[in-house]
Amino acid sequence: MDMMTNSSFWVALFSLAHITLASLGVGFMVLAPIAEGLGRTRPHFTDVAYLITRFTLVTYTTSIVLAVFMLELFIGLFPLTNSLLFNHFRAPLHLALVVFFIQLLCLYPYYHFWDWFRSKSITWHIVLGGAAAALILVWAGILDGIGSYMLTPVEQETGWARLWNPTWLPLMVHRFFGNLVIAGYVMAAYAGWRLWNNRHLGNDAGYYLMVLKTGMSIGIVSLMIQPVSGFVYAYQIQTVRPDVQQELLAGGSIILVIGQFILLALLLLGSHLIFRSVHVDRGHSYLGEGLYVLMLCLLVVLAPFPYYRRLISLIVLVQTGWYLSYVFPVWIRHSTPSLNTPFVHGSVMVLGAASLILYLTMGTIREVARGPDTIYGIIEHQTESPERNEAFHAP
Amino acid sequence: MPLEPLGISLSVGRVAIATSALLHSLFATFIVGSSLIGAVTATCSYVTRKEWFDRLARLIAFSLVLSTATISFFGVVLVFALNIYWPQFWHRIFQVMFWPFLGEAALFLGEAIFAYAWYYLWEWGQNGWRRKAHLAFVWLAAGCALTAMFMIDVTASYMLTPHPVYSAWDNIFNPTMIHLDLHRWFGNLTWAGFALAGICAIGYLKSTTETDRTFFHKGGSYCFLIGYGALLVMPVVGYQYLLHLRYGQPQAFYTVMLGERSWLFDVVALLYGLLILVGSLYIIQMVRSKPNPPSSCSGFMPLSLIVILLAAMMLAMPYQLQHIPFLNRLTDQEINPLGKMQPYKYYALSGLVIFGFGNWLYALRAFGRMSPVSILAIASGTPRRMASMLMTLAGLTVIIFLAMGWVRESARAVNGYLIYDVMRLEDEKSTYQRSSSEKDSSKEILFNPFER
């Protein structure tokens, strides 16, 4: 590895570590007030809201410090790119900081004064959690604007105008549902892990089965939106930077693209097996399921051929939707003791890990797509070379 | 590389950086001090199994978690502000101090992880081997916080005394590095001790049960003792720090002690005297509120109070009257002989430290005899006065902390330096406005972070 690849590796490593926690945090922050709202009629959901907020709080600072670490590496190893981005987006970044501060003021009391607030007004407590969620989405949106600018920069006078680059909105939507995908699957994985150790749980098994079902529902529904939002995003990139896709599919990064579809297929297949364990009168057909597995295989095999892959994706989407239309009513309305098996517990844990790896793979693809530039068409990777940068030579 | 000029005054950038840096360091230092106090308290709880130690440790853990979250946000603000307002300085210092900065971030990550584990795994760590593991969390958090502070002190001291300018290890162990670090050790204990005592005081005033009142009263006294004890060490370490600054960067030393910003040092001296004075008043209340106070106290306490009052006044006396803002409208006198460091301020400092230490010993004795019965027997009104004093001490500590930070930064900035002998404020001007020669040719400024 040359020095610049080395630099990219370290920045990417901490970036991915930060994104893992931050994206989960964003997903959970969005879900918490919704779950608390549902908890008015189904008290279990209030516990879910508390559980996922606790996770967010516990990982919150770690996630921020990982971001600072990544930023410091970026400042030291990519000073040109860093300077340009902060200079060109200074106005949106000021707003981002204000928004982040208010978000902090909402999130911490939301968790640490949970009972006190709820004893005064549940509605206002939900509003507080909702405000934290809305504000973190504004923060994430501004950062997405900078991230998307790096791939599809526009020549504009102000930072606000630069945020409105062609891939900003598609990226925001794609990431929003991506956050929900991992939040759902990780929630289910946590429940699976707790059920796996169920000898200590006793009466809590029912609660964790509900968490598992909720997580799986959020995960699969969001996952079904992803191919559509992903297509819009890829289409925008293709329109503005036609060479990006060709380079991705021609170079060594093809492995990442295939890996992404292997993980997607694994998630869909694993989810299908779990939904299949719920007994329904209709929907099971060996022919149909064989066809589904075949389509998933084709999805992977045809990954390097976007046109055919998109066609297959559409078929898989219709198949999944068709099957879920049978399963979901039973899944939601009835108790599902058939889910309390070691196979299901193990499967959801694997799916949780797969969803995270998929998320990180997709993020990596976006970063690789810019190569050999750090900001497409503006700064080349090699202009940050170690020969010029003393940070490489510091003790 | 072309960048857009910010198109604002350089002062706006200075205010933005100063505000974010001071806010960040206010919480950062609290974390360092409180993690250390928390570790000691948790150890006392582990050894003695006294319930109030455990409760106090948990209170400290909660403060630590909240301040860790706050500081991580202010850290982001500071990094953003430096990137936006002082990019040239930021990249220069970052290239020189790349590894200390990374080390600091990594250690802060460790502090956050261990502090969070300490607080959020409280129930988990109550029995068996887990008690030891739980105790280890806070010591690891404190260790990470202290080492992270060391890393930042490397950078902060280098900015003032970079001798020699470009030599890696000498940059790290520059003339004021160790002294700044030591000064901050005790400074952080003072700040965190008084701040936690202030939190206990608020808890006392808000508590509705006798159990709570007893706990907060005792907790406040405990934290006060730590803060006050560390405060007494500060002049000794501070003297060493200034001595090395004098030899390492005479111009900066002169600015702070006799020059344009000497009035700021007088403000710090005034605040120090006030801290010792209010602390002594608290100790008098503390000692007198206990049954059977020692007989020597009736003679020593009034004498000590008089000496401390006089010494505080003498310490705050300015020498260079001409540098005090607006004073020239009242008097033409330029020098006040009574404000000289040698011998008057040394006498004053000695008086404050020696008699303050005597008071501290009395306070220590009174604390050792503190029991729930003795606390509840205190006449009504006294604990409230004591709580007010603790809150006053916490408030004064915030002000002295900010003033001391301002003194150190002034020592560079007044002489036009961002990094002494390496980078001037002037060098950052191009970030804000285009030079007149560039105005017609381009709307952008040229910036090369690799340029030295």
Say what the pLDDT of residue A395 is: 43
**B122–chain A Cβ distance below 8 A for any pair:** no
Say what the pLDDT of residue A122 is: 96
A160: buried, middle or exposed (CB in 10 Å: 19+, 13-18, 0-12)?
Answer: middle
Of A62, A90, A93, the CB nearest to B109: A62
Average pLDDT over residues B161-183: 83
DSSP H helical ranges for B161-261: 168-172, 177-206, 210-248, 250-257
**B426–chain A Cβ distance below 8 A for any pair:** no
**B77–chain A Cβ distance below 8 A for any pair:** yes
**B15–chain A Cβ distance below 8 A for any pair:** no
| CA B291 – CA A45 distance, rounded (Å) | 55
**B172–chain A Cβ distance below 8 A for any pair:** yes
Query: Nearest residue on chain A to B69, judged by CA atoms?
Result: A61
Query: Nearest residue on chain B to A72, judged by CA atoms?
Result: B102
Contact state of A79 with B113 under an 8 Å Cβ cutoff: no
Position A35, amino acid: A
| CA A177 – CA B428 distance, rounded (Å) | 43
Tens-place pLDDT, residues B304-333: 999 999 999 999 999 888 888 887 778 878
The distance of B111 to chain A (nearest Cα, Å) reads 9
**Choice among A118-122, B183-187, B448-452 with the minimum mean pLDDT:** B448-452
Nearest CA among B312, B296, B305, B303 for reference residue B362: B296
Contact state of B96 with A100 under an 8 Å Cβ cutoff: no
Contact state of A394 with B98 under an 8 Å Cβ cutoff: yes
Contact state of A390 with B79 under an 8 Å Cβ cutoff: no
Nearest CA among A53, A22, A265 for reference residue A140: A22
The distance of A247 to chain B (nearest Cα, Å) reads 27
Contacts of B75 in chain A (CB under 8 A): 64-65, 68
Contact state of A395 with B172 under an 8 Å Cβ cutoff: yes
Query: Nearest residue on chain B to A98, judged by CA atoms?
Result: B77
Of B3, B102, B105, the CB nearest to A65: B105
B235: confidence class by pLDDT, cuts 50, 70, 90: very high
| CA A110 – CA A131 distance, rounded (Å) | 10
DSSP code per residue over B340-364? -IIIIIHHHHHHHHHHHHHHHHHHH
**Beta-ladder partners of A375:** A379
ipTM for the complex shown: 0.86
Tens-place pLDDT, residues B74-98: 999 999 999 999 998 998 888 888 8
| CA A295 – CA A291 distance, rounded (Å) | 6
Residue B427 has pLDDT above 90, yes or no: no
Distance of CA B275 to the CA centre of its chain: 13
**B192–chain A Cβ distance below 8 A for any pair:** no
Tens-place pLDDT, residues B269-308: 999 999 999 999 999 999 988 777 888 888 899 999 999 9
Describe the crossing of helices A90-112 and A44-77 by its angle, rounded to 10 degrees.
Answer: 150
Of B83, B94, B105, the CB nearest to A69: B105
B194: confidence class by pLDDT, cuts 50, 70, 90: very high
Q: What is the full per-residue pLDDT of chain A (395 aa) written as tens digits?
A: 566 667 888 888 999 999 999 999 999 999 999 999 999 998 899 999 999 999 999 888 889 889 989 998 988 888 889 999 999 999 999 999 999 999 999 999 999 999 999 999 999 999 999 999 999 999 999 999 999 999 999 988 889 999 999 999 999 999 999 999 999 999 999 999 999 887 665 667 888 999 999 999 999 999 999 999 999 999 999 999 888 888 888 777 889 999 999 999 999 999 999 988 876 666 567 888 899 999 999 999 999 898 999 999 999 999 999 888 888 888 877 777 778 888 899 999 999 999 999 999 988 888 888 878 888 888 887 777 655 555 544 44
DSSP code per residue over A272-325? HHHHHTS--SSS--HHHHHHHHHHHHHHHHTTT-HHHHHHHHHHHHHHHHHHHH
Contact state of B112 with A68 under an 8 Å Cβ cutoff: no
Query: Nearest residue on chain B to A96, judged by CA atoms?
Result: B77
Contacts of B447 in chain A (CB under 8 A): 83
Average pLDDT over residues B111-127: 92
- Look at strands B417-419 and A379-380 and give their pairing: unpaired
**B174–chain A Cβ distance below 8 A for any pair:** no
Say what the pLDDT of residue B179 is: 93
The distance of B174 to chain A (nearest Cα, Å) reads 15
| CA B356 – CA B360 distance, rounded (Å) | 6
Contact state of A76 with B95 under an 8 Å Cβ cutoff: yes
In the numeric block, the tokens 């129930």 are attached to B123
The distance of B102 to chain A (nearest Cα, Å) reads 7
Most A CBs within 10 Å, among B80, B86, B155, to test the A interface: B80
B419 phi/psi in degrees, rounded to 5: -125, 125
Q: Which helix (H) or strand (E) holds B424?
A: strand B423-424
Average pLDDT over residues B160-169: 75
Contact state of A90 with B6 under an 8 Å Cβ cutoff: yes
Distances (CA, A) of A200 to A205, A369, B124, B313, B419: 10, 48, 15, 67, 60
**B3–chain A Cβ distance below 8 A for any pair:** yes
**B1–chain A Cβ distance below 8 A for any pair:** yes
Contacts of A84 in chain B (CB under 8 A): 1, 3
In the numeric block, the tokens 């410091």 are attached to A72
Nearest CA among A274, A248, A242 for reference residue A261: A248
Contact B42, B133 (CB under 8 A): no
Contact state of A72 with B96 under an 8 Å Cβ cutoff: no
| CA B74 – CA A13 distance, rounded (Å) | 24
Contacts of A10 in chain B (CB under 8 A): none
Provide the 8-state DSSP code for B264: H
For the record, the structure tokens of B23 come out as 């806010």
Of B75, B94, B169, the CB nearest to A391: B94
Say what the pLDDT of residue B443 is: 59
Nearest CA among B403, B365, B351 for reference residue B232: B351
| CA A321 – CA B273 distance, rounded (Å) | 75
DSSP H helical ranges for B328-414: 346-368, 372-376, 382-413
**B425–chain A Cβ distance below 8 A for any pair:** no
| CA B370 – CA B225 distance, rounded (Å) | 13
Mean pLDDT of chain B: 89
The distance of B92 to chain A (nearest Cα, Å) reads 9
For the record, the structure tokens of B313 come out as 């006044």
Residue B242 has pLDDT above 70, yes or no: yes
| CA B69 – CA B65 distance, rounded (Å) | 6
In the numeric block, the tokens 């992880």 are attached to B113
Better-predicted residue by pLDDT, A21 or B1: A21
| CA A30 – CA B51 distance, rounded (Å) | 39
In chain A, at which residue ranges do the beta strands (DSSP E only) sit?
373-375, 379-380
The backbone region for A279, taken as left when phi is positive above 0, alpha when psi lies in -120 to 50, beta otherwise, is beta
B22 C-beta neighbours (distance < 10 Å), count: 16
Query: Nearest residue on chain B to A395, judged by CA atoms?
Result: B168
Contacts of A80 in chain B (CB under 8 A): 1, 449
Distances (CA, A) of B75 to B95, B96, B283, B290: 19, 20, 37, 45
Contact B149, B188 (CB under 8 A): yes
Average pLDDT over residues B253-258: 89
| CA B61 – CA B412 distance, rounded (Å) | 37
Say what the pLDDT of residue B381 is: 76
Of A72, A112, A389, the CB nearest to B105: A72
* Most distant CA atoms of chain A, gap in Å: 69
Q: How many CA atoms lie within 13 A of A285 on its CB side?
A: 10
**B121–chain A Cβ distance below 8 A for any pair:** no
Distant-in-sequence contacts of A329-333, Cβ < 8 A, 24+ apart? A330/A278, A330/A279, A330/A280, A331/A213, A331/A217, A331/A275, A331/A278, A332/A213, A332/A217
Average pLDDT over residues B110-115: 94
B34: confidence class by pLDDT, cuts 50, 70, 90: very high
Coil, strand or helix at B2: strand
Contacts of A390 in chain B (CB under 8 A): 95-96, 98, 450
Query: Nearest residue on chain A to B172, judged by CA atoms?
Result: A395
Most B CBs within 10 Å, among A86, A89, A146, to test the B interface: A86
